[in-house]
Structure 1
Amino acid sequence: MSDRHFELLVQLNLEYYRKQAKHLHHAYTAGDTAAEARVADVLSDRAAERFLLSDAQFVLAQEHGFRTWAEFRSHVESRSATEERPVSRLMGIRPDIYASMADTLLVELHRDDPRALRRLRAYVPRHATATSAATAEPRDARLIIARELGFPTWQDLVSFTEKSRRELDVRRKRRRQLHREAEALLGGDTDRLAALNAEQADTLLHMLAGSEMIPGVRLGKGLGAPRAAVDVVLGKATDLDLPLTRAARFNRVEYVRLLLDAGADPGVRRWGITPLENAIYHDNTKVVDLLAEHGIVPRALWTYAACGRLDLVRACFGADGSLRPDAASARPDLADTGAGFPSRMPPTDDPEEIVGEAFVHACQHGRLEVVRWFLDHGVHPDVAPYLGRTGLHWAIPGGRLEVIRLLLERGADPSIRDDLLQTDADGWLRIAFAARPSDPVTQRLHDLIESRSH
């Protein structure tokens, strides 16, 4: 399975968009309902009098956030011929959910909310210099939501969403059909598994990568099934990479180890994310360590820091202390997880922001020496490069006691609230450890944070 949506081009192509405009013009004149709705959204009733190819081009430009076809054409022609299109991070969400998100955003835009204005300027080119968001239109809000999810237009997002829901229904049906085979795998019934075909084997390996293969049977960090049974399925499967990406997310440590040993590619990017990125985002440090042994992908300052590779972190800086250009070849974004996180604002080229990203992910995974090195080289302990989350916020869910102590000793402010949950360090602690409030680690963290809160 490709990690790229079937309708998205590998690169921007002006001829493609010219053909799209011709297709829209033809569909509209033929009375296509969807085309009429698209045109009306931009031109209202004007198209009823006359709708030329130039009008279709204008509609296409507007759908991409540009004022005119000429501006859109210039944008396409100026982009790198090898620049890749973004990939959606979400699967199986109903289109009306996205529409509701756009409606909520439109209210914030009309209220001239500062963050909404920043999003408008970042994602709608014709509003790039706007000083107020109050005049934004519904299609502007929809375009922002589409762009934040990795799509160039609202139509692309809706098309992908509908296709992904169909695929998800097929996948769920296959899983239901394989319930007995899943039980056979968990129970070690190699005779039954010997009859599997390749598609069934691929599906079972994907199911085993999650937290529950069948309802009520929780899979932890162990393999979760007898090794002999898993070997039978591995011998019939054609795709080990997709299960690896999923297993990295669900902290299936021993399964990740087995997949890597069986030849799964740790550098593959499925669903727009690598296994290592998935493990980093989900606080799965043991999986991070396993994957890093086979190769750090993507190779960037923030992944080196999350993996605790101080040698590689240092190598990202020149002799004069300046950040090397290739240190930011990839940037973190929690929206990549597909877990419903909002996309960050587009990252800047500011070296402080790039270093801040690496710093907070080092805090997240308890990489004490990397954290100390950054602090010694001038990084502020309260840096919050995206989503307003400081190193403290990132370190608390994993119970990174030594990192938290170091941050507080260096002056970190536990009263800072993040943008996402709007809560301080103690609030993050209560959320992260809600299921185990009497855990000794919980109490030590609380005492440590409390001692610095006054």
Structure 2
Amino acid sequence: MSDRHFELPAHPNLEYYRKQAKHLRHAYTAGDAAAAARVADALSDRAAERFLLSDAQFVLAQEHGFRTWAEFRAHVESRSTTEDRPVSRLMGVRPGIYASMADTLLVELRHDDPGALRRLRAYVPRHATATSAATAGLRDARLIIARELGFPTWQDLVSFTEKSRRDLGERREKRRRLHHEAEALLAGDTDRLAALTAEQADTLLHMLAGPEPIPGVRIGKELGAPRAAVDVLLGKATNLDLPLAWAARFNRVEYVRLLLDAGAEPGIRKWGSTPLENAIYHANTEVVDLLAEHGIVPQALWTYAACGRLDLVRACFDADGSLRPDASPARPDLADTGAGFPSRLPATDDPEEIVGEAFVHACQHGRERVVRWFLDHGVHPDVAPYLGRTGLHWAIPGGRLQVIRLLLERGADPSIRDDLLQANADGWLHIAFAARPHDPVTHQLHDLIGSR
């Protein structure tokens, strides 16, 4: 079977694909070799008996990874009215990396690996009920990789990857040219900064949002530059939203505070995530608290739990304890961080999964009252809604002693290993505190976990 998948535009038109199906049927009937190859891919020998318009529509659906024309039509109609995809996870990665990932996945599919079968069923609709992955081809493996990264087709992924690399090169060049201006910023040279253009000010503010604005200069939670110098740039800037998203990711607490006060919009989704989602994913609890003061975006059970808002968590449930339908308009996915995490399987509507997501992020941020409330309402302490990470795994890197103690008291199993790192609680402790072996928290965690 050939590697044939066609790219969908940002706003596809269903009538266009209806015409494409008619054209395919006419071309096949006329003996066109390319049309015959396409039909053979999807229908094998069945087309020799008959080839109706419905069959041509089926071929188009298959070529886009869908089981039926009805499913393909529903997907096109849903995309025709939505905005452009807000996913930007690629960060300049070469297309060859994704090709290698697809080749590796193909081997797993051919060996009928259970994990590969789950991915095949989740991302390729025509295989949604498959009991074996052994018959899947390269086009299926590539489609899985593309859709895990938020793209409808392999061609779309490759095209966007190439654009991402060009954009990354342009950003690096801008930063290289502004090296001396970055030094002036850190030194507080307001006169030099006053001569910059608005575009240069935007770039410098973005640079300041990272942990190392210039090579060899590390900054942390503090602002990292004289306030007067930053104010000069803020007065020239045209876009504070990207620096805010970046600062939230790197735990630049005082810079986040300053950007919010200067009017940065905390609800804007950049690079796949809102600033709050970025801060939650990276366990930057101080930043989470700052952003939550300006509004919780997105408004969902898991973000409420991560922010420690027990009142909002409770409001997500009806009086009988059932989850309200509006509790999960957005779902967590670590792949949105651009930090190399694989995408989860598509989220389901299972209330237990939705509650589990909220529970583990409450553990991650040390929200003891929220964690206790969930446990009191029947949540299992070892629930692992995605990536196989339990609340214990999520709580250890941040040293959330009270939550960890509570989880262990309620029966959490420290021997469970996650799917990604294959690490149990002790393994997560070694990973998280490898650079801080003498930290008092490390010893307390060892005592807590080792005693189980």
TM-score normalised to the size of structure 2? 0.89
Which letter maps to 1:234? Answer: L
Distance 1:41 1:417 in 2: 45
- Asked whether the equivalents of residues 364 and 394 of structure 2 are also in contact (C-alpha less than 8 Å), the reply is yes
Deviations, residues 351-377 of structure 1 (Å, cap 9, x unaligned): 111000000000000000000000011
- Asked whether the equivalents of residues 63 and 153 of structure 1 are also in contact (C-alpha less than 8 Å), the reply is no
CA spacing shift, 1:233–1:128, aligned 2, 3 Å:
same
Deviations, residues 170-201 of structure 1 (Å, cap 9, x unaligned): 01000000001000001000011011111111
List aligned pairs for 1:134-149, cutoff 5 A: 134-149=134-149
CA spacing shift, 1:190–1:258, aligned 2, 3 Å:
same
The aligned residue for residue 50 of structure 2 is none
Which secondary structure state, in structure 2, belongs to the residue aligned with residue 246 of structure 1?
A: helix
Which letter maps to 1:100? Answer: S
- Asked whether the equivalents of residues 12 and 85 of structure 1 are also in contact (C-alpha less than 8 Å), the reply is no
Which letter maps to 2:306? Answer: A
The aligned residue for residue 30 of structure 2 is none
List aligned pairs for 1:411-450, cutoff 5 A: 411-450=411-450
Displacement, 1:63?
3.8
Distance 1:229 1:16 in 2: 54
CA spacing shift, 1:136–1:230, aligned 2, 3 Å:
same
Which letter maps to 2:151? Answer: F
Which letter maps to 1:428? Answer: W
List aligned pairs for 1:37-436, cutoff 5 A: 60-67=60-67, 70-71=69-70, 73-76=72-75, 79=78, 82-83=81-82, 86=85, 87-436=87-436
- Asked whether the equivalents of residues 13 and 76 of structure 1 are also in contact (C-alpha less than 8 Å), the reply is no
Displacement, 1:17?
4.6
CA spacing shift, 1:76–1:122, aligned 2, 3 Å:
same
Displacement, 1:125?
1.0
Which secondary structure state, in structure 2, belongs to the residue aligned with residue 286 of structure 1?
A: helix
CA spacing shift, 1:167–1:201, aligned 2, 3 Å:
same
- Asked whether the equivalents of residues 248 and 276 of structure 2 are also in contact (C-alpha less than 8 Å), the reply is yes
Displacement, 1:90?
2.3
Consecutive unaligned residues of structure 2, counting only runs of 5 or more, are: 1-6, 26-33, 46-52
Distance 1:261 1:19 in 2: 53
Distance 1:56 1:89 in 2: 35
Displacement, 1:73?
4.3
CA spacing shift, 1:207–1:117, aligned 2, 3 Å:
same
Alpha carbon RMSD of aligned pairs, Å?
A: 2.8
Which letter maps to 1:365? Answer: H
Which letter maps to 1:413? Answer: D
The aligned residue for residue 4 of structure 1 is none
Displacement, 1:75?
3.1
The aligned residue for residue 50 of structure 1 is none
CA spacing shift, 1:57–1:235, aligned 2, 3 Å:
farther
- Asked whether the equivalents of residues 335 and 341 of structure 1 are also in contact (C-alpha less than 8 Å), the reply is yes
Distance 1:178 1:123 in 2: 43
- Asked whether the equivalents of residues 66 and 72 of structure 2 are also in contact (C-alpha less than 8 Å), the reply is no
Consecutive unaligned residues of structure 1, counting only runs of 5 or more, are: 1-6, 26-34, 47-52
Which letter maps to 2:74? Answer: H
Which letter maps to 2:442? Answer: T
Give the paired residue count: 430
Distance 1:227 1:206 in 2: 16
Which letter maps to 2:194? Answer: A
Which letter maps to 2:383? Answer: V
Which letter maps to 1:252? Answer: R
Distance 2:409 2:131 in 1: 41
Distance 1:19 1:198 in 2: 48
Distance 1:253 1:156 in 2: 36
- Asked whether the equivalents of residues 14 and 73 of structure 1 are also in contact (C-alpha less than 8 Å), the reply is no
- Asked whether the equivalents of residues 110 and 134 of structure 2 are also in contact (C-alpha less than 8 Å), the reply is yes
Distance 2:332 2:17 in 1: 30
Displacement, 1:83?
4.8
Distance 1:324 1:55 in 2: 42
Displacement, 1:247?
0.3
CA spacing shift, 1:184–1:381, aligned 2, 3 Å:
same
CA spacing shift, 1:386–1:85, aligned 2, 3 Å:
farther
